Structure 1
Amino acid sequence: MEQIFKVLPTSIRQHLAAVPENIRSKIEEVRVRIGRPLEVITTDQSYLLPYHEKRPYLVTEEDGAFVLSYLSQHSVYRLEEELKRGYITISGGHRVGLAGRVVTERGYVKGIRDIGSFNIRVARQSKGAGIPYLSDITRNQQWMHTLIVGPPKTGKTTLLRDLARIASEGDVSFGIKPKTVGIVDERSELAGCVMGVPQHDFGTKVDILDRCPKAEGMMMLIRSMSPEIIIVDEIGRAEDTEAIMEAIHAGVTVIATVHGADLQDVRSRPTLRTLFEQKAFQKIIELNRNSRKQLTPINVKNTNQTQRELKVRVK
């Protein structure tokens, strides 16, 4: 939480520091809304701060000004591109979402002014999260085309991040050799790059295109970086489908995530239909909120054979 504390004024930092360690270690989001209660959200529930006090702390305009000043390094003009996207990535790979008065020009978002809400999303690298899946998504020391499906906050990005690390470093116990990995990180969330430098550990054989549209990025990597594996988060557009098919036909393994309530929900999307018709993905991992919280079975499905369920635990 050290990097996150730097973003916050003393008035908020002291309330966050007073949260018991067993709760603070599970914080996923810190919600700073001007004129409203200070809130933290964990894997289990949300809390208003100060913790265990009846009257919550109301975030002031001065608090908001401090956060914005820190993020912009005292010059809002430095954030022009970030304000168009609605979020800023800070040291440590944490991402700060922004909400306020949106400025548009010819129907396109030009930026955000009068920012009234900050959502600090805590980035954690869970090394080992991908280990339970390796025996099912690798075969004869080769990685298989894999799609990770699940609704928000089920650990898709965390799992994908660790699979990228394992692919780059290799794993002796599974007989997996290091591969050249290319990551297209359109939202600066997967690698959490700051000034082009990833804030998470991916080993030595990783090349990252930060803030690059997924479809264009995949083609750029194939043309210029010769990846053996391409990692991409949150596919969904028709051009993403086309780029994935191009990558597979070029002999590159693709591992991707997609938002969806379940596999059936994802299958029904017109923009992704070709991927299933062409059996692009050899393995599909389904995550859900209950499995994440309770560490209960998660489905790993083989799309080239009769679908079956494999019981594993997320670590």
Structure 2
Amino acid sequence: MGKRDEILSLFPDGLKGRMKPVLEDVEHLNEIRLGVNRPCRIIREGCEYFLSQDGTCLTQGNNAWLTSDREIESIVNQMCSYSLYAFENELRQGFLTVQGGHRIGFAGKVILNTDGSVRNFSCIRFLNIRISHEILGMADPVLPYLFQQGELWNTLIISPPGCGKTTLLRDLIRQVSDGTDTRQGQQVSVVDERSEIAGSYQGIPQNQVGIRTDVLDACPKTEGMMLLVRSMTPQVIAVDEIGSKEDLAALQRIAVCGTGVLATMHGYSLKDVEDKLGKSKSLFGRFLLLTFKDRKRSVRIYDGEKHLLQETVL
């Protein structure tokens, strides 16, 4: 099944015709956002459009299709194969990963447990369909700077939201895992807490993450990192969006074990990230600072002393 059909299959028959025109350009789509009594919004290459009743993309929302509560309900039922109970654990987390690695985020009214944690949704009123895209080879320009005598530097990818840090991390994982004619592939373990790296569906990665890569899906990072070190003896651990004190403490324990690290963190500058890392900044020998401006993605590569090694377009 191609990417277009994977997304189209999420919609009930009555809405497929409306979605088909916009999905002809699925490779350039980032998100489809729907909400009750809200215009359907299409995010394409970082630009926002509104979907009309006939499937045309509009620059203004005046004549856009306003999604009804019944339409949202029918979409949710279609996504969950008309069995919300079977997807209770996924719904509790607020998102669902479907075939192809695409992720649907949910919002609405929740039901709480007595301890204040989320038990489930009583009603879902907003959806965000995030379309999974791989960019094979994205890491090519940075890889030569991440190895010294065949050893991988602990590397932290930094960027604001939406600049492609998870996409870059995914391709780094793939290439470190697969290796090349001149560089032996390494055993990589991925803690994929939000199913965004491997995009696993029923535990099987939908994205290419390498032949020597094991994936722990939907597991909290802190617990998952130590579990994988104990159970899978990785040479490299990869995690997305670190930031908590517990995450950093786990990374320090991993470093003591001699396991390499590939990680990402939200940030706008090295200074911004240094403040968040504190003493843990010494764990990393390479920092990749990603930016995305005027539809151009670029990266600055720094060593552990914050010296600029290279700046290039990805």
With normalisation by structure 1, the TM-score equals 0.91
Match status 1:256 vs 2:263: yes
1:289 and 1:40, CA in 2 relative to 1: closer, same or farther beyond 3 A?
same
Structure 2 residue aligned with 1:71, among 67, 70, 79? 79
Secondary structure, in 3 states, of the residue corresponding to 1:73?
coil
Alignment match, 2:139: 130
Query: Counterparts of 1:130 and 1:52 in 2: how far apart (Å)?
Result: 33
Match status 1:80 vs 2:82: no
Secondary structure, in 3 states, of the residue corresponding to 2:252?
helix
Structure 1 residue aligned with 2:226, among 208, 219, 224? 219
Any conservation in 2 of the 1:99–1:118 contact (CA below 8 Å)? yes
Structure 2: 5+ residue stretches without partners: none
**1:95 Cα deviation after fit:** 0.4
Structure 2 residue aligned with 1:273, among 253, 275, 278? 278
Alignment match, 1:4: 7
**1:114 Cα deviation after fit:** 1.3
Query: Counterparts of 2:83 and 2:296 in 1: how far apart (Å)?
Result: 44
Any conservation in 2 of the 1:31–1:119 contact (CA below 8 Å)? yes
Structure 2 residue aligned with 1:113, among 101, 122, 136? 122
1:73 and 1:246, CA in 2 relative to 1: closer, same or farther beyond 3 A?
same
1:221 and 1:52, CA in 2 relative to 1: closer, same or farther beyond 3 A?
closer
Query: Counterparts of 2:199 and 2:147 in 1: how far apart (Å)?
Result: 26
Query: Counterparts of 2:41 and 2:14 in 1: how far apart (Å)?
Result: 14
Structure 1 residue aligned with 2:292, among 289, 293, 302? 289
Of 105-114 and 120-129, more deviation after overlay is shown by 105-114
Query: Counterparts of 2:14 and 2:152 in 1: how far apart (Å)?
Result: 49
Query: Counterparts of 1:246 and 1:20 in 2: how far apart (Å)?
Result: 45
- Which amino acid in structure 1 is aligned with residue 211 of structure 2? T
Structure ranking higher in strand proportion? 2
**1:20 Cα deviation after fit:** 8.0
Any conservation in 1 of the 2:97–2:201 contact (CA below 8 Å)? yes
Alignment match, 1:143: 152
Any conservation in 1 of the 2:296–2:313 contact (CA below 8 Å)? no
- Which amino acid in structure 2 is aligned with residue 275 of structure 1? S
Secondary structure, in 3 states, of the residue corresponding to 2:238?
strand
Alignment match, 2:163: 154
Any conservation in 2 of the 1:241–1:274 contact (CA below 8 Å)? no
Secondary structure, in 3 states, of the residue corresponding to 2:42?
strand
Alignment match, 1:210: 217
1:130 and 1:83, CA in 2 relative to 1: closer, same or farther beyond 3 A?
same
**1:14 Cα deviation after fit:** 2.4
Deviation string 1:23-82 (CA, Å, 9 cap, x unpaired) is: 543110011212221111012311101325662112123321221112222121112211
- Which amino acid in structure 2 is aligned with residue 34 of structure 1? V
Query: Counterparts of 1:234 and 1:20 in 2: how far apart (Å)?
Result: 29
C-alpha RMSD of the superposition? 1.7
Deviation string 1:66-116 (CA, Å, 9 cap, x unpaired) is: 211122221211122112210000000000000100222232222222111
Alignment match, 2:31: 29
**1:203 Cα deviation after fit:** 2.5
Secondary structure, in 3 states, of the residue corresponding to 2:207?
coil
Query: Counterparts of 2:5 and 2:273 in 1: how far apart (Å)?
Result: 38
Alignment match, 2:44: 42
Of 89-98 and 255-264, more deviation after overlay is shown by 255-264
Secondary structure, in 3 states, of the residue corresponding to 1:88?
strand
Structure 1: 5+ residue stretches without partners: none
Deviation string 1:245-271 (CA, Å, 9 cap, x unpaired) is: 1111111110100111222112212xx
Query: Counterparts of 1:311 and 1:187 in 2: how far apart (Å)?
Result: 30
Any conservation in 2 of the 1:152–1:259 contact (CA below 8 Å)? yes
Any conservation in 1 of the 2:27–2:133 contact (CA below 8 Å)? no
**1:309 Cα deviation after fit:** 4.5
- Which amino acid in structure 1 is aligned with residue 99 of structure 2? S
**1:273 Cα deviation after fit:** 1.0
What is the percent sequence identity of the aligned residues? 34
- Which amino acid in structure 1 is aligned with residue 219 of structure 2? C
Alignment match, 1:313: 313
Any conservation in 2 of the 1:142–1:176 contact (CA below 8 Å)? no
